[in-house]
Amino acid sequence: MEKQSTDRRKRKTKKLLRDTLGELMSEKPLKNITITDLTERADLNRGTFYLHYRDIFDLLEQNEIEMLQEISAIFKKIDPSVFTEYYSKNKPYPPLVEIFDWFKNNLDFGKALLGPHGDISFLDKMKLTMKDEIYSKHRGINKNSNNAIYNEYLYDYIIFGFLGIIKQWVHSNAAIPPKEMAVMFVKIALNGPFK
C-alpha cells in the first residue's frame, strides 16, 4: 500500500512539474527558465525537483520521451486503408480520435512545446516517430512505393500536414471536439487540398 501511495505522489509531482514547465514555456524561452522559477510557481522545494530531474532540460527531455512513446503507441493503430470506409459513413476513425484526445488531454504542455518558446527539436522527433510508423506499416500505401525519393516527399507531405493540423488545433485550444477533428482529418487525407 505504501508503494502505491508513493508512486501516486511521484506521478502527481512529475505532472505538476511538467504542467508548470508548460506554463513557463508559454511565457518565455526555455533557456530563460530557472529551477527557482519552476519550483516557486509549482510551490515545491528545489530538493523535490532534484529527486526527479538533473535540470530543466532533463525535465523537458524525459517528458518529451514519454510523450513520444505514447504518441507512437497510438500511431501503431492507424491504418489509412480503412479511411474510405469511415469517410463513407461520416464516422470518426477511433485511432485518430485517440490521438486528438491525447493532445487535448495534454493541451497545455503540447501548446508550450509547439508554441513560439517550444522545443523546435520536438517537432523533428515527432516527425521521425510518425515517419517510422507510417513507413514500417504502410510501404505499399502508394503506387510508386519502389521510388524512394517519391516516398520521402510523400511521407513528409502526410506528416507535416498532420502536424500542421495538430498545431493549429492545439493553438485554438482544441475548440473542435476530437471526433470532429478525426472526421475532418480523414476527409482532408482522402480528398487532398486541391479537390
Question: What tens-digit pLDDT sequence spans the chain (195 residues)?
Answer: 556 767 889 999 999 999 999 999 989 999 999 999 999 999 999 999 999 999 999 999 999 999 999 999 998 898 888 999 999 999 999 999 999 999 999 988 888 888 888 877 888 888 888 887 776 666 545 555 667 788 788 888 888 899 999 999 999 999 999 999 999 999 998 887 776
Main-chain phi, psi angles of 76, to 5 degrees: -60, -25
pLDDT of residue 48: 95
Helical H runs in the chain?
Answer: 2-25, 35-42, 46-52, 56-75, 83-88, 94-105, 107-114, 120-137, 148-171, 178-191
Nearest to 128 by CA among 166, 159, 96, 107: 159
pLDDT of residue 150: 82
pLDDT of residue 124: 86
CA distance 138 to 80: 8
pTM of the model: 0.84
Q: Could you tell me the three cell numbers for 56?
A: 530543466
pLDDT of residue 1: 55
pLDDT of residue 92: 96
Domains along the sequence of the chain with CATH: 2-191 (1.10.357.10)
CA distance 6 to 169: 36
